[in-house]
Amino acid sequence: MCGISGLLDTSRRCGNHELQRTVLKMVNTLHHRGPDDVGTWADAETGIALGHRRLSIVDLSPEGHQPMHSVCGRYVISFNGEVYNFQELRRELEELGYTFRGHSDTEVMLSCISQWGILPAVRRFNGMFAFALWDRQERELHLVRDRFGEKPLYYGWIGGVLVFGSELKALRAHPGFTMEVDRNALALFLRHNYVPAPHSIYKGIWKVMPGTIATITKADVGRSPKAIPYWSVRSAVDQGLADPFTGSDTEAVACLNELLKDTVKHRMVADVPLGAFLSGGIDSSTIVALMQAQSGRPVQTFTIGFHETAFNEAEHAKAVARHLGTAHTELYVTPEETMAVIPKLPSLYDEPFADSSQIPTFLVSELARRDVTVVLSGDAGDELFGGYERYFLGYSIWNKIGWIPEMAKTPMARGLRMFSAQSWDKLFQIMDPLLPKPLRYRNPGEKLHKLAQMLTAGGADGLYVLMGSHWTDPASVVIGGAEPLTVFTDPSARMDRLHLQERMMYLDTMSYLPDDILVKVDRASMGVSLESRVPFLDHRIAEFAWQLPLSMKIRNGQGKWLLRQLLYKYVPAALIERPKMGFGVPIDAWLRGPLREWAEALLDEKKLRDQGFFYPDPIREKWNEHLSGTSSWQYHLWDVLMFQAWLEQEWRGR
C-alpha cells in the first residue's frame, strides 16, 4: 500500500532535476500513505515524472523500490495497492521463461504487461490498485484503477501539464495549481454527503473511474483521456442474469464458503503483522471466522467501544472474538477523544466528505495500527447480499404508494404541503388525545412533507434517489450550482429488468460503495499508514453474488440470508442475530452541545454570505430548528459543516 503521484509536462521545458524536484514535493504530501521509502523517476525528453511513497507489505527488501522498470525496459510503474494472485501469475510467467530479481507483486505486474499487454494483463489482476504506467515505446501514460475503486486516483490538466496522484493534496502541491471549487460538484456533495466519481471538488480535476484504464498522450493536451473499461458492475450483473445459479441452498452455501475462504486466504498474505476489524456484525464476523479457520495462531482483532449504549458494538464483538478464539483488542473512547478527531477530517479526507462514521473508522484504524500494518474488513457485504435497511424500507414504501395513479399523486402532495411542517405538528398536538397510538409520530409534519416528496419522486427509482439524498434540492442551497447526471439520476444507467431491491443494491455498488464506504476506509486507514483489505470485493465474489436469485439474499424479510447460513457454520446465531446498528457517533446531540460553538462559527450568516458558496437562509433555518429540537437536521448540517471546515483549511493553505 502506497501513495503515488506524477506529471506529464507536454511542453517539455523542464530538465530532469526540476521534474524530479516537483514530483518529490508532490509525493511527499503522501508520506502517511508510504512512510517506509520514497522514490522518483523522470525523463525530461518526454516530460514524464513519477513519484512513489512506499508502505512495505510484501517483499520488504530494496527490490520492491518504486518507481520500478520492467526487465524489457519498455515500462515504468508507480503502483499503489496489492495484486493478490501475483504468485500464481509469477508461476505462469516462469513457465514462459521469465526470471525475477525480487518477490514483489509490482515486478510480476510489469512482466504480465510486457508479456500480454496492459488490457489483457489488468484483466488478470485480482486485487485493489491504482497505478501510473509509462510506456516508453509508445510514449503513453496509463492511469489504472481497480474494479471497485478501492484505491483512489485523481488527475487533471494545469495548462499543458497533466498532474495525478492518490490524493488531492499531491496535486495541490504542484506549483501551478490554482483550481477553483466546482459548484456543481458541491451540489452533488450536498445530496450524497460525498463527491461521486468522476467528479472532484475542484473544477478540472477528476477521478479515474473504477475498472478503467485512462490513457493520455502528448497530443491530448487539455482533453479528457481515452478511457477503456476492463470490468464493470453492470457487466457482472448482465453475466449473472445470463448464467444464473441453479443449485440448492446447501450448494450455494458451500460455493460461497469455498470462494470466500480463497479470497480471505489470498488477502492474508503479508510480510508484516496482520489483523482484522471486528464489529460483531455478520460481515466482519464472517471474514474473521474464515481468517481464524485458516490461521495457525489467534487472529488479531480490533474494536472501538463507546460509552453511549446506542452506538456501542464492542460487547457483541467481544463475544464473537471469544467464541472464535481471536486475540482481541478493544478500546473504549470518550466523547472528548472522539470529537478530537474532527479537526483532522479536512486534511484526512482532502475533499469534503460527510459520512460521520469517518470518525470511529479513523479511531479503530489508529487502534489497529499500534499492533499491525494490514487489516481485513467486512465492507461491501451489504451491497452484494442485500443488508441495508433501506432496501426493505424502500420496497415497503413503494408497495404502499406505488399503486396510486400518477394523476392523483401530485394533488395529494400539494395538499400535504399546504401547511408547513410546524403547522402540521401543532395540528397533531391538538388532535393527540383523539389519535390512535400508531399515528402519534414524533415530528409528524416533517414526515408528511417527506411523504409529499415521495409521492412526486418519479417512480420507484426516484423514490430510492430521494431516500439516499440529504439535501433534496441542492441547487436551492448552492449558489450557481447545478447537479450533473450521476448513476442515480441518469435514466440510461438504470436496470429496469431487476427487482426493485436488486436495483437498489446495484446503484449502491456503483456509487455509495466506491465513493463513500471505500473512501472512508481508505483515508482513515492510510491516514495512520495502515493497509485495509476488503475480501468481499474480490470480483469473483461479486460475480457469484449477481448469479444468485434474490431469494438467497433476502428471505422472510431478512437480508444477507446466504451470508448468515455460512456464518452459522462458525458462530452460533445467538451471537449474531440482533438489529443492525451501524457505526456512528451522536452528531445530533453533539451539535446541540459540545460542538455548538464550533458549528455556529462555521455557519455564521455573514461568513456564509461573504464566502459566496451557499444561500444562508435555508442553512440557518435548519440550524435553528435543530438547536430548538423541533427537527433533527444532523445529516444536512454535517454536510455543510464538513465543506466549511474543508474550505477554511483550503484558504489557510493558499
Active site residues: 2
Q: What are the phi and psi torsion angles at 498 (to 5°)?
A: -85, 150
C-alpha cell at 335: 466523547
Contact 31, 529 (CB under 8 A): no
C-alpha closest to that of 519 among 118, 101, 210: 210
Contact 48, 217 (CB under 8 A): no
Q: State how far Cα 644 lies from the chain centre.
A: 21
Q: What whole-number distance in Å separates Cα of residue 233 and Cα of residue 235?
A: 5
C-alpha cell at 24: 518529490
Contact 610, 649 (CB under 8 A): no
C-alpha cell at 345: 477530517
What is the torsion angle, in degrees rounded to the nearest 10, for the CA atoms of residue 178, residue 179, residue 180 and residue 185? -170
Contact 402, 460 (CB under 8 A): yes
- Only one residue has cell 447460513, namely 565
C-alpha closest to that of 23 among 191, 155, 164: 164
C-alpha closest to that of 41 among 75, 87, 10, 82: 75
Using left for φ > 0, alpha for ψ between -120 and 50, and beta otherwise, residue 47 falls in left
Per residue in 599-622, is it b (16+ CB within 10 Å) or e — as a string? beebbeeeebeebebbebeebeeb
Contact 5, 51 (CB under 8 A): yes
